[in-house]
Structure 1
Amino acid sequence: MLTGEAMWRLLREADEPGNPEIPHDYDHDETRRRFLALAERLSADFGHPTENDLWAKDATLHARLNIPVEATRGGEQIYVAVSNFASLAIAGPGNPGVYDSEERDVRFEAEDRRLVGTALADLGYRLVDEPEIWQRYDGANEDILPAWTWFGRYFDYL
């Protein structure tokens, strides 16, 4: 998982001025193919179908999936969301914004975390630290996206 300086460098590099929804080189079909491959992989790894939300429109988020509680070792659903930008992904127990890093690390059972992280890495996603990106957005599109967070910049609806 990317954290700290490396994560912030990546988030700022992917932040194209004037283009809040999709990057200039966005390929919807390829992005969707890769997300469906992720859903298939995690369904196999967890032995249970994922619940997929593929209908993100007017969003920086491409899609999200949930691994149901009955398939996890930690006793809580796991979410995985992927952005339209830079192969960015976030993952954790429950829902985004629920836990700080410390509590997330306790609640995101080690084997569940390993399975999710390995699947994301194998498919070329770059996992970023979700609790860290709830900071106020101060990037290249600040005039278009006032009062946003970095989470909103890459993983939310416009």
Structure 2
Amino acid sequence: MQVTESGADLLALLRELDDPQWLEWPTSYDRSAVAARFGELVARLEGDFGVPCVAEQDTQDSSEYGRATVPAEATVCGTRIVVCVSKFGSLALVCAENPGAYLGTQDAQEEGELDDADLASVERALVELGFTVVPEELVESDYDGPSRAHLYGQRPTWWDRFFGTF
């Protein structure tokens, strides 16, 4: 399954969501609505993979809302799948093992650590629940927005902006 938006469209969306006055969450943030959608995601992943998934949510001092993890034993390749959900614009990221463990899902697939059907199942669930899937390769690219002074590190990335801690 292909993510429906192009890299240019996704980058434009990230720029649109970027407001230096609202670093941890957007002005329109509805914690209850995000919690409900996240709960639906966890339930959907548990149903699709047939196992309980670990869910971490309500991450403090972070623009990431939470993570849902499909255990390694439930995947074809034996590598866990981690889904990170941002507090911004229903952004979601799919990773093999952990964010940053691979250069992205394509790299994990090429190394035999992420099955096409498993990835398609996770992406389908996200899209059907109204999330926007952002490739790890994009969020690991250099951040050049107006919140730069507020982000840690010598080389801030879009990950730092929409999934990182403050």
Q: TM-score, normalising length from structure 1?
A: 0.94
Secondary structure of the 2:61 match is coil
Segments ≥4 residues shifted beyond 6 Å: none
1:100-115 equivalences under 5 Å are 100-101=103-104, 102-106=106-110, 107-115=113-121
Cα shift at 1:55: 4.0
RMSD (Å) for aligned C-alpha atoms? 1.4
Q: Which has the higher contact order (CA 8 A, sep 6+)?
A: 1
Q: TM-score, normalising length from structure 2?
A: 0.89
Cα shift at 1:108: 2.1
Q: What is the aligned counterpart of 1:44 among 44, 47, 52?
A: 47
**Residue 120 (structure 2) pairs with residue 117 (structure 1):** no
Runs (5+) with no aligned partner, structure 2: none
Encode CA deviations 1:13-71: one digit per residue, 9 max, x unaligned.
11013111000000000000000100000000000010011141010000001100011
**Residue 85 (structure 2) pairs with residue 77 (structure 1):** no
**Percentage of pairs with the same residue:** 35
Q: Aligned partners of 1:145 and 1:137: how far apart in 2?
A: 9
Partner amino acid, structure 1, of 2:52: P
Aligned length in residues: 158
State the match for 2:95 in structure 1: 92
